[in-house]
Chains A and B, each alone.
Chain A
Amino acid sequence: MSQIFHRSTNTFSRITIFGAVFILGFLTWAFGELSRSTYATQAGVDREQPVPFSHAHHVSGIGLDCRYCHTSVEDSSFAGIPPTKTCMNCHSQIWLTSPTLEPVRESYRTDRSIKWTRVYDLPDFAYFNHSIHVSKGVGCATCHGRVDKMPLVYQQSTLQMEWCLDCHRNPEKYVRPRADVFRMDYQPPDDQLALGRRLVKEYSIENRTSCSTCHR
């Protein structure tokens, strides 16, 4: 029987078998990069909002505390998005005629919620809780970035599991004194690790890495 393949194909097949290792390696790498990319995680992308609400104006500009609007962040899992009434505390008197605020006034008149577009949204199979992070000294800015500089909120972190775990394994790299949790301009000291280790002890922070912590 004559050979179907010419002798030279032997070399070819050797190369492909050898090369497959690299090709697989490359695909794995590409997949990893792709899933961490901003395209897949949507980090850093502005969301279109019904009202161009600016944290930069309200937080840096007039010095509002996060808790003025996100009232439940200290004692519940959910940080809370303010109801229209909260906006009207001030906008019942100032910027009364501004057309950008019309959806707010309309919502107040008709008692229909403003439909904000969610920026941070974990899949429903993951459980997150704000109150424990706040009370154990994890600052808003550690996860959400410098919100006070954002005209529109964008997602600062990837929200991937490895991001949560990086901190859950080594909380001392990130924790800060409780009093500074809401401060946006907090700068970690040069000896963050020393401070971190002390706080981890003081606040008795534990390493939460078991699957059921977040998948429950």
Chain B
Amino acid sequence: MLLLFASACRQDMHDQPKVQPLEASRFYEDGRASRPLVAGTIARGHLREDTKFYTGMAGGKEIAEVPFPVTEKVLERGRDRFNIFCTPCHDHLGNGLGMVVRRGFRRPPSFHSDRMRELPVGHFYDVITSGFGAMQDYSAQIEPKDRWAIAAYVRTLQLSQYARLADLPAGIRDLIPAADASKKGGAKKGDSRK
């Protein structure tokens, strides 16, 4: 009986001499079992030849088009990732009033200004990759492909907040009282049409 109890307490199979992700290690000087890659390492198939795709630049300028076809799936993925990584500060609509901003973080500019609408899509990719002013970069948290999906989604978001009265079908336009017209689109959606 005692043997039975004793055997259950042996732990050597529980902690085997193999390493699990992020385990501490006494073997390496920095105490990390997960080893950093040697600078300059490139995994097979991951050579970043496609500079447009990886930097968002071509000939020193930010590119104006997403370097692959933007399907509905890409936009959905973009919305998902935007909601995870960007809304804490930029909010769901991109007006820059996220929860963290309300707790004292610097307020980012709204995505719905003329300047932001005119920026090439490559700029958004670059901001995610390299950061911008007070905003840190998100290159460790977001894959390049997802960065483009987010950039494409931000473009969609800008369009959705910038529908002009003239863009509405005639039947619907008539339903909106003229005096309210300028507020209708913007009222609920923040400072979209200044």
Q: Are A and B part of the same complex?
A: yes
- Please give the residue numbers on chain A whose beta carbons come within 8 Å of chain B beta carbons, in ascending order: 27, 31, 35, 61-65, 67-68, 71, 78, 80-81, 83, 85-86, 88-90, 92-94, 112-113, 115, 123-125
Given known contacts A62-B100, A67-B84, A68-B141, A93 and B106 CB-to-CB distance under 8 angstroms: yes
- The docked-state distance in angstroms from the alpha carbon of A29 to that of B105 is 56
Contact A81:B136 (CB < 8 A) given known A62-B100, A63-B88: no
Identify which of B31, B103, B141 contacts A113 (C-beta below 8 A): B31
**B20 interface contact, C-beta 8 A:** yes
Query: Which residues of the partner chain B approach A65 to less than 8 Å between Cβ atoms?
Result: 83-84
For B2-19 the 0/1 string (1 means CB < 8 A from A) is 001100100001111010
* B138 closest partner in A (C-beta): A89
Closest CB-CB distance, B105 to chain A, in whole Å? 5
Q: What chain A residues lie within 8 Å of B22 (beta carbons)?
A: 78, 81, 113
**What are 10 of the A-B contact pairs (CB < 8 Å)?**
A31-B4, A62-B103, A67-B84, A68-B85, A113-B30, A123-B14, A124-B15, A124-B20, A125-B14, A125-B16
Known A-B contacts A65-B83, A81-B22; the reply to A86 vs B141 at CB < 8 A is: yes
Contact A94 B13 (CB under 8 A): no
State how many angstroms separate the Cβ of B122 from the closest Cβ of chain A.
22
| A-B residue pair count with CB separations less than 8 angstroms | 66
A residues near B141, Cβ cutoff 8 Å: 68, 71, 86
| 6 residue pairs, one from A and one from B, having the closest CB atoms | A123-B14, A124-B16, A62-B99, A65-B84, A78-B21, A89-B136
The answer on a CB contact under 8 Å between B30 and A112 is yes
Q: Which residues of chain A have C-beta atoms less than 8 A from B20's C-beta?
A: 124
How far, in Å, is A29 (CB) from chain B's closest CB?
A: 14
Max chain B C-beta neighbours (<10 A), residue from A83, A88, A124: A124
Interface membership of B104, Cβ < 8 A: yes
A5 CB to nearest B CB, Å: 25
Nearest CB to that of A76 among chain B residues? B21
Bound together, the chains give a CA A163 to CA B172 distance in angstroms of 57
Q: Which residues of chain B from 78 to 113 have any CB-CB distance to chain A below 8 Å in the complex?
A: 83-85, 87-88, 99-100, 103-106
Chain B residues near A113: list those with CB within 8 A: 22, 30-32
B42 within 8 A of A: no
Provide the bound-state CA to CA distance between A88 and B105, in Å: 12
B38 contacts the other chain (Cβ, under 8 Å)?
Answer: no
From A88, which residue of chain B is reached at the shortest CB distance?
B136
Specify the chain A residue showing the minimal Cβ separation from B24. A115
Separation of A81 and B22 alpha carbons in the complex (Å): 8
Name the prevailing secondary structure of the B interface residues.
loop
Residue of B nearest to A75 (CB): B143
Across the interface, do A112 and B14 meet the contact criterion of CB distance under 8 Å?
no
User: Which chain B residue lies CB-closest to A96?
Assistant: B104
New contact pairs (4) apart from A65-B83, A78-B21, A124-B14, CB-CB < 8 Å: A31-B5, A68-B88, A94-B100, A125-B16
Enumerate chain A residues within 8 angstroms of B5, measured Cβ to Cβ.
31
Distance A63 CA – B20 CA, assembled complex (angstroms): 30
Q: Does B134 have its Cβ within 8 Å of any Cβ on chain A?
A: yes
Instruction: Tell whether, in the assembled complex, residue B32 and residue A94 are in contact, meaning their CB atoms are under 8 Å apart.
Output: no
Residues of B within 8 A of A123 (CB): 13-15
CA–CA, A118 and B18, complex, Å: 17
CB distance from A3 to the nearest CB of B (A): 31
Q: Are A83 and B136 in contact (CB under 8 A)?
A: no
- Which single residue of chain B is at the shortest CB-CB distance from A115? B24
**Contact yes or no, A90 B84, CB < 8 A:** no
User: Which listed residue (B4, B16, B103) contacts A94, Cβ 8 A?
Assistant: B103
Instruction: Confirm or deny: B170 has a beta carbon within 8 angstroms of a beta carbon on chain A.
Output: no
**B21: nearest chain-A partner, CB-CB:** A78
B100 touches A90 (CB 8 A): yes
